Amino acid sequence: MDDRTETASREHTANRRGVLSNLTSGLALSVSIFALAIGAWQTRLMQGQARASVWPFVAIGYTYNSNTDLNGFIWHVDNNGVGPAKVQTVTLSVDGKPMKRWSDVIAELGVNHRTLNVSTTSLNGDVIPPNLNRETTIEAVRINERDVAVLFKAAIDRFKMDICYCSVYDECWVAHWQQSKVDAVEKCSSEGLVLFEE
């Protein structure tokens, strides 16, 4: 009887050790899976923070000054975000008619551009740095003559400009003339568009 009791006691101890070992293994596996899930969540969070740290935000607007012959009308493009904006496509229309150059826009407004004192800047393919404590505004067109500046100011509702731009992570948006909202897009496409070149 002693042998049987001793054998049963050993089997009982072995079973308890087996159960304890299985419980410990299960607990270790659960902790590992939980740590893996936390690591994946933390990685996703860090990727979102990295994208946000270089998020560009392009705004298209104008400045009008009727009191002087200099800087009468300035069409400006700003990057109010925190990262650079890579300009992919630019479109501009007057009354729905696509334009390719500022000289086309000026002619559409009925002005002889050959006698005009105008400064223009091209945007296509440019990288617009963010406005972080410095002036990086791009003056797309500067009209210095007061009478022509008045024409541009009067035609504000006739203009439509869209700028498609991307971040360094190739996330893309379209900024619109005189709108504070931008639209996220899959990518910037020039298919079917008449691109503004100047």
Distance CA 156, CA 27 (A): 68
Nearest CA to 123 out of 184, 165, 95, 83 is that of 165
Give pLDDT tens digits for 134-175.
778 888 998 888 888 889 999 999 999 999 999 999 999 999
Domain count, the chain: 2
- Long-range contacts of the stretch 102-105 (C-beta < 8 A, 24+): 102/140, 102/141, 102/198, 103/198, 105/141, 105/159
Give pLDDT tens digits for 35-80.
888 877 787 777 666 656 678 999 999 999 877 666 689 999 999 9
Last residue of a domain, one of 9, 27, 52: 52
- State the average pLDDT for the chain: 84
Same-domain status, 92 and 45: no
Report percent pLDDT > 70 for the chain: 82
Same-domain status, 147 and 96: yes
Tokens encoding 166:
């991307």
Q: Which pLDDT does position 54 carry in this prediction?
A: 77
Alpha-carbon distances of 61 from 10, 52, 191, rounded to whole Å = 86, 24, 26
Q: Could you list the residue range(s) of the whole structural domain that residue 38 is in?
A: 1-52
Same-domain status, 177 and 136: yes
Within a domain: 196: no
Same-domain status, 29 and 81: no
Q: Which pLDDT does position 28 carry in this prediction?
A: 81
Nearest CA to 99 out of 77, 120, 129 is that of 120
Nearest CA to 147 out of 120, 112, 177, 103 is that of 112
- Given the structure tokens 């003056």, which residue do they identify? 139
Torsion angles phi and psi, residue 105, rounded to 5? -65, -45
Q: Which pLDDT does position 69 carry in this prediction?
A: 60
- Segments of the chain assigned E as strands: 58-64, 73-79, 85-94, 97-99, 118-120, 127-128, 138-143, 159-166, 172-176, 182-185
Q: Which pLDDT does position 87 carry in this prediction?
A: 95
Same-domain status, 110 and 169: yes
> Has residue 188 got a pLDDT over 70?
yes
